[in-house]
Structure 1
Amino acid sequence: MKIRINCLVICFGALAGNAYAQSSVTLYGIVDAGFTYNTNSGGHSQIALTSGNGAGNRWGLKGTEDLGGGLAAVFELENGFSIVNGSIGQGGTFFGRHAYVGLSSRDYGVLLLGRQTALSNDYVGRFASGSSWAAAGTGYGAHVGDIDNLVAVNRTNNTVKYRTPDWRGLTAAGAYALGGVAGDYTRNQIWQAALNYANGPVNLAATYLVAKDPNYSFFGNTAKGSATATNLGSTPAYAGFANAGIQSIFAAGGQYKLGALMIDAVYSNVQFSDLGATSVTGLTPKETAYRGKATFNTEELNLMYYLSPSFMVAAAYNYTKMVGPDGEHAHYSQVNAGARYFLSKSTGLYLVGVWQRAGGTDSTGKPAVATISSVTPSTGRSQLVVTAGLTKRF
């Protein structure tokens, strides 16, 4: 249950000595843990107690102050953590999930300043199984390596985000992340745009993101991010493209509700272009020599059915194809299946299985291996991850 503190601003602002309109602050969070089985974790099977599988563990504070005339001041601070060892999430970044302040207007929309999720996650992510029901906390069900950021592996720092009011079901949004580099305002900058339309059983959305120097601006913007080495992690599907000068992500999706059945579809196009433009240490000679661009195209069909208001079953299939700068081709087929049972409005059980099979040659120039997000890549073409656990919201 959320804890709310409602009072006049005088109860917050005794230091200021002023009383204005009514304000509220909410303390909230999610605590999630479960068991995960991996058939091939670097060549061995593995069973582990894992954190935040169904939904990412977090605690946060959010608040609003009514300024009158339909205008309000808003803020949110949200910290991710591991329940199995107590460590801070998002690369050791405190309040790494959200940290922003802004203004919300009934007539003019919302303006937010700070560290925030990308618009791809805000708008299109809800149609993808990996960011809704298929182990969304860990991202097991994400498209290979969360290549299109629909599960929000990456946030954006120094971001100004604006969302319009609702125009008969249509909303638009834009965001700009300042690079923060002295002498070169374009370095590490990120541009984003989004459109969303909702009318009855139909919901549609599309987003576009362009990140300069993505190894640092998009993948490396955490407390543990490196200022010189690769931040793309150990995902061989795209780790070899860390020296790209630009990353672009186009994502589109939609949902149609048919009674208890929800039919979702997602498409994304991701490009690592201007390869070789960003200096990154630790790459192999082959990866350092890449020039041109690499393209990833992904499609997903996601089906969810409520057997009852408290019991949902779901299945999804996604396929990703990569075309590399030197003619490399890789492909990843993935099946997600699962079920959720809600014991109450705030407590639920889940069971999710993710199977992936890879083929071709990946970004490292080696035979592609299965690489389910957030687990150690397989040593072979196939990999199966099964997780079951409990989610408690407060």
Structure 2
Amino acid sequence: MKKTLIASAIAAATFSGAAFAADGNMSASELAAKMDSMPQVYGNIQYAVDYTDIDGSGSGLDHFDNGTTLGVKHDHEIMPGLTGFLKLELEGINANNKASSSGIDSLDEAYVGVMGDGFGQLWVGSDDSLYESSIAKIANFHEIGTGLDGSYTTGEGDLIQYKTPSFGGLTLGAAVQINGETDAESKSYPYQLAATYAVDAFELAVAMDSNDGNTGYSKDGFDGEVVDPAELDDNNENTYGVRATYSMDNVSVTGEYQTRKDVSKEFGVIGVYSMGANQFSAAYQVVEDDAPGASNGDKEDVIALQALHNVSDHMYVYVESFFYSADNDNEYAVGADQKTRTAVGAVYYF
């Protein structure tokens, strides 16, 4: 760390102490209240070593940053029963390689909102979309990720999202994305609807994504530029998904199904078993190509295994293995329809 940065940190700490002292003899409860009103800073560093073997096309070993982030969040009571909140999470640190890192250079989440027991939750900004958080659990469960997911294309930026309070276990939600002329070829308002019903150990969720507009907007890095019309999504079919989860003691089982006409179908199931500080899971996913043409009906599937150990309250390690196969003979390389991938990783978080 540079000396100037250390000096700045010492100066900030000294200033904070002086500011508290200026308030006079502050009581312990007043000091606690002042500290509680400050934002919470959190973050993590994630490292992984990955070995990939493509059948008939060689293998390779890689060490990489698997999503190191730094964030801040805050909430406060606006009035009794209504709370305002904020979250800002940054990434792109590339903590594994100083030579290729330019520091924090990208955004993961940024939103503001209000919530209350009788109001529900309304938030605006960049966040996981309502459809993704309701349905797409298996691809997002793993530290590395299976890479097989549904065909929903509404991005994670410029979202206005709302969820109702629970009505006897039933929660409804809606989201809309505001795409202006500066973000895509023309204005569009992709929307999502979702419903989740939870009772005892069972949870059922259904959702849809209208998929209007550009498939990559705010999801694959478009940054305010006008998008080439060739990159716009010309398939306006909706994506529909359903997920069911049953949890009992230290075991949970989840199944999900997603479909979009003339694009693809996805089915997946995962079982998770927790034993003390350890977690084990096994999952299976299959995606079928539903697009018109020669590849229609082609399938790709993956078996995913995970073993995770919580070393402490702030650190865990894991091993994940993925076994892929595809009907397409050239799916992973020329003449390669099978691939295996194994990763060993560690995460320290605060």
CA 154–222 in structure 1, closer or farther in 2 if over 3 Å, else same: farther
* Contact map agreement 1:189 1:211 (CA 8 A) in 2: no
Correspondence for 1:392: 348
Higher relative contact order (CA 8 A, sep 6+): 1
CA 313–216 in structure 1, closer or farther in 2 if over 3 Å, else same: closer
SS where residue 147 of structure 2 aligns?
A: coil
CA 187–211 in structure 1, closer or farther in 2 if over 3 Å, else same: farther
Partners of 1:41 and 1:60 lie apart in 2 by 40
CA 379–230 in structure 1, closer or farther in 2 if over 3 Å, else same: farther
Aligned positions of 1:55-204 closer than 5 A:
56-81=67-92, 82-85=94-97, 87=101, 94=106, 96-126=107-137, 128=138, 130-132=139-141, 134-135=142-143, 138-139=144-145, 141-143=146-148, 146-148=149-151, 155-181=155-181, 187-204=187-204
Question: How far off its partner does 1:142 sit?
Answer: 3.4
What is the identity, as a one-letter code, of the residue corresponding to 2:255? A
* Contact map agreement 1:24 1:65 (CA 8 A) in 2: no
Partners of 1:222 and 1:264 lie apart in 2 by 33
Question: How far off its partner does 1:378 sit?
Answer: 7.2
Superposed CA deviations along residues 241-277 of structure 1, whole A, max 9, x for unmatched, are x652436322211111233221111111134xxxxxx
Question: How far off its partner does 1:207 sit?
Answer: 1.6
Partners of 1:215 and 1:184 lie apart in 2 by 10
* Contact map agreement 1:41 1:378 (CA 8 A) in 2: no
Correspondence for 2:30: none
SS where residue 127 of structure 2 aligns?
A: strand
What is the identity, as a one-letter code, of the residue corresponding to 2:320? V
Give the TM-score normalised by structure 2. 0.80
Question: How far off its partner does 1:216 sit?
Answer: 4.1
Of residues 250, 259, 274, the one that matches 2:249 is: 259
How many equivalent pairs are there? 315
Larger Rg: 2
What is the identity, as a one-letter code, of the residue corresponding to 1:322? D
* Contact map agreement 1:216 1:226 (CA 8 A) in 2: no
CA 117–42 in structure 1, closer or farther in 2 if over 3 Å, else same: farther
Correspondence for 1:285: none
Partners of 2:217 and 2:124 lie apart in 1 by 17
* Contact map agreement 2:123 2:162 (CA 8 A) in 1: yes
CA 228–46 in structure 1, closer or farther in 2 if over 3 Å, else same: same
Question: How far off its partner does 1:224 sit?
Answer: 9.3
SS where residue 157 of structure 1 aligns?
A: coil
Greater helix percent: which structure? Answer: 2
SS where residue 126 of structure 2 aligns?
A: strand
Partners of 1:155 and 1:230 lie apart in 2 by 18
* Contact map agreement 2:163 2:173 (CA 8 A) in 1: yes
* Contact map agreement 1:352 1:386 (CA 8 A) in 2: yes
Correspondence for 1:29: 43
* Contact map agreement 2:70 2:90 (CA 8 A) in 1: yes
SS where residue 391 of structure 1 aligns?
A: strand
Mapped pair 1:318 → 2:285 = yes
RMSD: 3.2
What is the identity, as a one-letter code, of the residue corresponding to 2:301? S
* Contact map agreement 2:170 2:197 (CA 8 A) in 1: yes
Aligned identity (percent) is 17
Partners of 1:388 and 1:99 lie apart in 2 by 30
Aligned positions of 1:16-55 closer than 5 A:
23-40=37-54, 43-52=57-66
Correspondence for 1:348: 316
* Contact map agreement 1:299 1:319 (CA 8 A) in 2: yes
Superposed CA deviations along residues 62-101 of structure 1, whole A, max 9, x for unmatched, are 1112111211211111112232236489xx963x211111
Correspondence for 1:250: 240
Partners of 1:62 and 1:159 lie apart in 2 by 18
Partners of 1:204 and 1:346 lie apart in 2 by 32
What is the identity, as a one-letter code, of the residue corresponding to 1:156? E
Partners of 1:84 and 1:335 lie apart in 2 by 28
CA 224–148 in structure 1, closer or farther in 2 if over 3 Å, else same: same
- Unpaired segments of 5 or more residues in structure 1? 1-9, 12-19, 232-241, 272-293, 361-366, 371-376
Give the TM-score normalised by structure 1. 0.71
Question: How far off its partner does 1:188 sit?
Answer: 3.8
CA 195–93 in structure 1, closer or farther in 2 if over 3 Å, else same: farther
Question: How far off its partner does 1:147 sit?
Answer: 3.8
Partners of 2:55 and 2:223 lie apart in 1 by 27
What is the identity, as a one-letter code, of the residue corresponding to 1:214? N
